[in-house]
Amino acid sequence: MIPSPISALHPSNRRTFLERSASGLGLAALGSLMSEGSATATVPLAGFPHKPIKAKRVIYLFQSGAPSQMDLFDPKPQMQAQFGKDLPESIRKGQRLTTMTSGQKGFPVAPSIFKFAQHGESRAWISELMPHLGTVADELCFIKSMHTDAINHDPAITFFQTGRQLAGFPSMGSWLSYGLGSQNRDLPAYVVLTSFGSGRPNDQPLYDRLWGAGFLPTQHSGVKFRNTGDPVLYLSNPPGMDRALRRDSLDQLSELNQHRHALVGDPEIEARIAQYEMAFRMQASVPDLTDFSDEPEHILDLYGPDVKRPGSYAANCLLARRLAERDVRFIQCFHMGWDHHGGLPKAIQGQCNDTDQATTALIKDLKQRGLLDDTLIVWGGEFGRTIYSQGTLTETNYGRDHHPRCFTVFLAGGGIKPGMSLGETDDYCYNIVQDPVSIYDLHATMLHVLGIDHNRLTYKFQGLDARLTGVEGAKVVKQILA
Amino acid sequence: MTFVFPRSIFAIGLCFGFVHSGLAADRVQFNRDVRPILTENCYYCHGPDPKHREADLRLDVREAALEEGAIVPGKPSDSELIARILTEDEDDLMPPPDSHKILKPKEKEILQRWVAEGAEYQGHWAFEKPVRPQVPAIQEAATPIDAFVLERLKTEKLGLSPATDKRTLIRRITLDLTGLPPAPEDVEAFVADASPQAYERVVDRLLKSPVYGEHMAAQWLDFARYADSHGFQTDSSRTMWPWRDWVIHALNENMPFDQFTIEQLAGDLLPNPTLSQKVATGFHRNHRINGEGGIIDEEWRIENIIDRVDATGATWMGLTLGCARCHDHKYDPITQKEFYEMFSFFNNIDETGVIRGGSNRTGGNPGPSIYVPDAEQQKTLAALTDDLTQAEAAVKAAEKTLPALLAAWEPKFKKDLAESKPQWEPLMPETVSSTGGVTFSRVEDGTYLAGGPTPAKATYVIEGAIPEGGFSGLRLNVFPDPSLPEGSVGRNSNGNFVLTRIEAEIRAPSLKQPLKLTFSEAEAVFSQKGWGIESLIDATLAKAAKRESTKGTNRGKGWAVEGTTRKEPNQAMVLVPDLVSVPADARITVRLVHDTLNNHQIGRFSLDWCSVPPQMVTLVGDGAAPADIRVILDLDPAKRSAKQKQTLTAFYRTGFDHPVKAADTALATARKKREGFEMRLPSVMVMQELPEPRTAHILLRGEYANPGDAVSAATPAVLPPLPEKAPRNRLTLAKWLVSPEHPLTARVWVNRQWERFFGKGLVKSSENLGVQSDPPSHPELLDWLATEFMQSGWDMKHLQKLIVMSATYRQSSARTHLPASLLERDLENRLLARGPRLRLTAEAIRDQALAISGLLDPKIGGPSVRPYMPEGVWDETSVYGDLRNYKPDVNGGLYRRTLYTIWKRTAAPPTMLLFDSSSRETCTVKRSSTNTPLQALALLNEVTFVEAARVLAQRMITEGGASAEQRLDWAFRRALGRPPDAHELSVLVAGIDRQWKRFQSASAEAEQLIQSGEAPLAANIAPAELAAYTVTANVILNLDEVLTKE
């Protein structure tokens, strides 16, 4: 049984927390721990949560590069009859295009060459590209009516992660860390895992800012686990220094810092002592976390053979489950390689081979451990793709350009209604005809199931109450709430 | 309703901004007491922005509020405002419950009292010109600053803390002014100097030290969003370090802040600007530049200009101008129109706003940019320019002989032509193959079409027979094909190719070894800019191109043809210098090498070969003369048109040997030499005006594609007007910012200096002095400093000296002697009853470790360097751009000051980010200061700090004395400027003993630990001893006191 993180960190229990976290440091450290500039990011803001908590943590499976919705989840069989015909202007409606296709002479409709079938009791449409995912169809909640403002990757993924197309704003995980604090005293509140896709190995890059804290204090930044060397930067002691020796040196350090504290009385010193102790605990907790040797073979098999390759999407999914078990607040896996301007049929198969089994395994694995109930899973990219082919269209080959007007994401787990689909797109999978959901709406909904009123998760920046969900107004998507 | 305001409400209950000079029991003051309540709770809906205004009511203008009956001066009970904040009816309550804003009882009382007292408004203090206040007459005040601080403290019945001890003081001031710790000798000299001027002498020495400018520059780089990369998707390299060096130099020279401002915002518009003044304008080219495929140029040009407006507002005025991008500012009196009037000042740079083509991948400086030669280079450049001028004169002289030469040549050439045969013959390949699995199919027209996989790199190999006789070169014909990406000519997904080089060799039974052909001339019908055919044949040029591409000029390596847009046939030829004699039964092997860019291979091609002497060969046409020349030659000279005569002359002039051609060649060489030299000079992006300014428009909803009314350059009405006659350009804007009339610039700057030394500004929200800002803790001190700064001629060092000479700055930062009640009330030390105690900046933490260990390389300026970073730091999330495969420098670059570390924005130096540096993506005027476990891990384990510990340990042993106590004393003096006390000694000596014993029985571990870093290992120290001291030095470098300015 996982203790409720909120009650554990309720103000009345802060004494307990401090005693545990700071090796017996007393309440004197409280002021420092709570003040700007020295927070350990472990304590929720006053007044949080605002609402009942449906999900205690998030696993966000970000498919970077933008997967093609009409080849995966939003079937348009009626497009077969339109093969090669130009996209009608009545559909395109003068929309701006990227300069990759704006000079194209025509916009030939490229129907998906992949077969779709309905799965589960919910009769969810899933393409043959994702054979595993069909087996958990009834856990999923599709939103086929997502839309965004940006048409290029960098601004679009930045928008998704921070609510703004331009740099400088906090990522959603940082907002959660800031608002809700951490539930685990040995691990960061926000962990990022990255993997390269095999569908398009030289695909779109990722940027520090996507998990950055923006104008929030730095400790709310996502900690990106590395795929080479130490998973957390500088985790290992230098060669030649074992854990006992590190303990010995930290004892000396702590003794001298306490000695200084007695002389100058700055509570910041006590906070620093506590941080060194947490660092020491992380030196044990992180290797324990990333060591899969305690996973039985049938679990490894569930995630597929890739799971044994560190840095793969499958390995990251298993790691995400292990992070969820340890109550890390926000876990984000970025899988690159979905940007298929040309040769889409082959490239998307590579991407689905990378991800289908592992995504499915993660959902099953969480479910069998009872963790799916209070873990929110989100799967999706930064925008959608066009029905028309970028470059030459043949019977077996096509490419698709960026498309901001509609795309599909799916959610599962805590607080979300399983086995449903929201929103509809037109015949060309080009415009939304029902239930549009903006990125701000999605953010607001995610915050809602985490117990946060998105309007009240604010931070004073340059004199304004800045928030993740922007100024134009966002709405919680009530239809998908359990 | 009664209005009893016990003094205690003001003295304790409210935040310190309100607590002012014992006036609490006096009248309510709008700026101090009322405005913060209204801006926080009311102005969003009842403020300056008409689009969001509710019920047509605005409360920011007195007349409007009175007219609507919201306020009846002197009569709170008749005022709707008061009724609405007091009501218990949820429907009427203000602020409305769904705004989640709740007025505190005290705030309600203030508003009532304010209305009762007449509801007087005041302009926002920061928009009114600072007036120099009287320095309070406080006897014990050592300096004017202290008088203001003491006056405020006295209202709390407090005083300053005692002065800190000399060792702490010299460490504090040295870290503050230079970002480095004091040398132990300097500490001892200061301690020994009993004169009253001892401290001032230290301050003066530090202000003159060249490391001063480096430390001060670091913050300015945050404001300027300075970096070594472009910052978006590809994030390739750029060269802006000459601008960074300009900043260091200007700060070291104590350039007055007004000049510092004018040169950076408009140096190019000064009369006869110097190179240095042009370099200064790089300030507003430091923003990110997008190069992602598919972007719309104008969108990003607009974003860059908006970035400039934001950065100008934040850096100089402490205003959040960006809030008025999409609509009128919610709080400050700045309209959307005024935002775009400011925008207009920066809208006229001769730029595209994006980075394209090769530079986007391999790095470069999109224009406008200038070369920045140093003194020596300027001399060389002058000499090369002389050569060029002379060569030009020689050509002019030689040209006079051209008509006679031409007349003599024509008959002879006509005769040669009559006897010549076609120059290009198709090469009939017997095999066409490739590395990487590319397959070829022969098309009916004899061309070869590539198919199969598209590997990253591929070399096409073509083999065929070649007849006996002469050989002078190869012609490559490329063709578009519908099966290729984009229906173009190349195999990359965008339809382009890059041919890196052509290799060829001839084999024959009579040849012992294959005859390798060296091509010396090349020509193409069309080459993409920056991807000329010449790099295929000129090894020197190719090498230079490669070097340049890493340095950031617009040069690629290989031949490309803009296949993304030009989907048409193309031809290129490569020629040997002299006709090669081909023996009987010979075969030729041609290799088309593609190894510059991944996947960029030719899609469909054929090859021709040539037997005409190389001097006679032309790329296009059947004979030794193109068709148009033959036509001209056949005409009677008298009947030739002027254009035809020109064509023929050009053909002769360039194609045959004679004195004019020799002069032309000499000129081309001189030009190439000069250009080649220039290409190797560092360049820097600068601002440069278009001849005709662009028209700026209000952008509706802030969208680039949604222009509204045209606007012209102007400044916001709430601020002083521009001089009437002055041209509306950046120079006028810059001068306006630093005019004595401007209410913000000086205040913003002095406030930031206060923040630098004390951790918090007198206005805590140093990033924002607008209506939503925090009220100043010491408003009169702020204005006194601002006016003093301007009166001193914007003297930056003078201002800093004033601050650091104050008793306020020199107080002890210890809290142990202060009452707990004060500490609790004044966590942030806004009252200044104690000295500052602050964690060092990211840069200072690393620089200090290098300095303490003695590793620091003091070189100032130059290209950015590559110290240790985690393996793969640039590669875990990107395979784009030229900043990949990070390798630390092998010499020097490991130990330079941190502001020289290469900065790739999308994957910034990780340790810097851990210690709260900005990401340099946008203008950042304030950093947070956090305390995290990841920082602990970095300081404990990162090779930079472990190596510093090991080298410090070596020096403790070799220089510190014989005993552990002496060595620790030595190390403490280096690290902290003080000897260790008995307790510290006992803890660390015991530690050394334990560790030494441990390592004596664990020699392998000892050997490992002392291998950290590249610095040479001291000979003659037992590994166990050195390892033990390394552990201790690691503890010392992690002490809170070391990381902190006390």
For residue A432, list its beta bridge partners: A425
Q: Label residue A464 by pLDDT band (50, 70, 90).
A: confident
3-state secondary structure of B329: coil
User: Are residues B933 and A166, on separate chains, in Cβ contact within 8 Å?
Assistant: no
What pLDDT sits at residue B813?
Answer: 96
| pLDDT tens per residue across span B720-753 | 999 999 999 999 999 999 999 999 999 999 999 9
Q: What percent of chain B has pLDDT over 70?
A: 95
Predicted local confidence at residue B39, as pLDDT: 85
- Cα separation of B478 and B594, whole Å? 14
Q: What's the gap between Cα B286 and its chain centre?
A: 4
The answer on pLDDT for B4 being more than 90 is no
Q: What is the pLDDT of residues B232-257, one digit of tens each?
A: 999 999 999 999 999 999 999 999 99
Mean pLDDT, chain A, as a whole number? Answer: 88
Say which residues have a Cβ less than 8 Å from residue B834's Cβ, sequence separation at least 6: B161, B811, B812, B813, B814, B815, B818
**Helix (H), strand (E) at residue B251:** helix B241-252
Better pLDDT: A463 or B1025? B1025
Q: What is the pLDDT of residues B67-99, one digit of tens each?
A: 888 899 999 989 989 989 988 888 888 898 888
Give the pLDDT mean for B851-861. Answer: 97
Range from A38-47, B45-54, B59-68 carrying the lowest mean pLDDT: A38-47
Poorest-pLDDT segment among A3-17, A34-48, A317-331, A449-463: A3-17
pLDDT above 90: residue B811: yes
Q: What angle do CA B810, B811, B813 make, to 5 degrees?
A: 120
Distance, CA of A410 to CA of A72 (rounded, Å): 11
Sequence-distant (6+) residues with CB within 8 A of B269 are B689, B729, B730, B731
| Residue type at B249 in one-letter notation | H
What is the per-residue pLDDT for A93?
A: 84
Instruction: Tell me the per-residue pLDDT of B662-674, one tens digit each, with 9 for 90 and over.
Output: 999 999 999 999 9
Report chain B residues whose CB lies below 8 A from the CB of A38.
930-931
pLDDT in tens, B946-999: 999 999 999 999 999 999 999 999 999 999 999 999 999 999 999 999 999 999
Residue with the bigger pLDDT between B634 and B321: it is B321
Span A191-244, pLDDT tens digits: 999 999 988 887 889 999 999 999 998 889 999 999 888 999 999 999 999 999
Where do we find the tokens 């296009």?
B620
Query: Does B294 contact A265 at a Cβ distance shorter than 8 Å?
Result: no
**Chain B neighbors of A204, CB-CB under 8 A:** 233, 880
CA of A57 to nearest chain B CA: how many angstroms apart? 22
**What pLDDT band is residue A37 in, cutting at 50, 70 and 90?**
very low
CA atoms in the 13 A half-sphere facing the CB of B73:
11
Which residues does chain A have within 8 Å of residue B294's beta carbon, measured at their own beta carbons?
Answer: 98-101, 151-152, 401-402
Kindly identify which residue of chain A lies nearest to residue B36, measuring between CA atoms. Answer: A463
Q: Is the dihedral of CA B1010, B1011, B1015, B1016 positive or negative?
A: positive
For residue B622, what pLDDT is reported? 55
Question: Does residue B9 register a pLDDT over 60?
Answer: no
Confidence class of residue B309 from pLDDT cuts 50, 70 and 90?
very high
The answer to whether the Cβ–Cβ distance between A99 and B296 falls below 8 Å is yes
Q: Does residue B565 have a pLDDT over 90?
A: no
Residue A436 CB neighbour total at 10 angstroms: 17
To which residue do tokens 């990255």 refer? A194
Give, to the nearest 10 degrees, the angle between helix A267-290 and helix A313-325: 130
pLDDT of residue A79: 96
Spatial CA neighbour of B294 closest among A63, A3, A235, A150? A150
Best of B764, B931, B984 to disrupt the A interface (most A CBs within 10 Å) is: B931
Going through B421-513 in order, the beta strands assigned E by DSSP cover 424-426, 429-434, 439-442, 448-451, 458-466, 469-478, 498-499, 501-507
**Distance from C-alpha of B838 to C-alpha of B828, rounded to nearest angstrom:** 11
Q: Which residues of A114-130 are buried (b: 16+ CB within 10 A; e: fewer)?
A: bebeebbebebbbbebb
Greater confidence (B206 vs B423) lies with B206
Shortest Cα distance from A238 to chain B (angstroms)? 6
pLDDT confidence of residue B621:
62
Kindly report, residue by residue over A151-172, the tens digit of the pLDDT: 999 999 999 999 999 888 999 9
Distance between B805 CA and the closest CA of chain A, angstroms: 23
Sign of CA dihedral B782, B786, B791, B795: positive
Identify the pLDDT of residue B839: 96
What is the DSSP secondary-structure string of B911-943?
HHHHTT---SSS----------HHHHHHHHH-H
User: Quick one: which of B971, B986, B943, B993 has its CA closest to B1039?
Assistant: B971
Residue scoring higher pLDDT (A3 or B393): B393
Q: Is the pLDDT of residue B548 over 80?
A: no
Mean pLDDT over B643-649 rounds to 88
State the pLDDT confidence band at B538, using cuts at 50, 70 and 90: low
Q: Give B48's contacts in chain A (Cβ within 8 Å).
A: none
CA distance A253 to chain B (A): 6
Evaluate if residue B7 carries a pLDDT over 60. no
Asked if the Cβ–Cβ distance from B1012 to A238 is below 8 Å, we say yes
Does position B534 have pLDDT exceeding 50, yes or no?
Answer: yes
Preceding omega of B242 cis (within 30 degrees of 0)? no
pLDDT of res. A31:
31
What residues does A124 pair with on adjacent strands?
A119
**C-beta atoms of A168 and B1005 within 8 A:** no
Angle at B251 between CA B247 and CA B257, to 5 degrees: 95
Q: CA–CA separation, A310 vs A314, rounded Å?
A: 9
Other CB atoms within 10 Å distance of the CB of residue A179: 26
Q: Which pLDDT band, with edges at 50, 70 and 90, does A13 fall under?
A: very low
Of A232, A240, A279, the CB nearest to B1006: A240
Alpha carbon B126 to its chain centroid, in Å, reads 30
A253 touches chain B (CB under 8 A): yes
Which residues of B are less than 8 Å from A208 in CB distance?
905-908, 913, 919
pLDDT higher than threshold 50 for residue A5 = no
Mutation pick from A252, A263, A272, A455 vs chain B, by most beta carbons of B within 10 Å, is: A252
Chain A to chain B Cβ contacts (< 8 Å): 295
Tell me the pLDDT tens digit for each residue of B251-270: 999 999 999 999 999 999 99
What is the distance between the alpha carbons of residues B9 and B31, in angstroms, rounded to a whole number? 18
Judging contacts by C-beta atoms under 8 Å, the chain A residues touching residue B994 are: 248
When pLDDT is cut at 50, 70 and 90, the band that residue A85 belongs to is: very high
* Contact: A206, B877; criterion CB under 8 Å: yes
Q: B921-959 burial, b for 16+ CB within 10 Å, e for fewer? A: bbbbbbbbbbbbbbbbbbbbbbbbbbbbbbbbbbbbbee
Cα separation values, A271 from A38, A317, B931, B1041, Å: 7, 34, 7, 13
pLDDT at B64 over 90: no
Better pLDDT: A124 or B121:
A124
**B699, β-bridge pairs:** B707
Chain centre to alpha carbon of residue B869: 19
Q: How confident is the model at residue B800 (pLDDT cuts 50, 70, 90)?
A: very high
pLDDT attached to residue B359? 80
* β-pairing verdict for B683-685 and B369-371: antiparallel
| CB nearest to B1009's CB, from A206, A240, A399 | A240
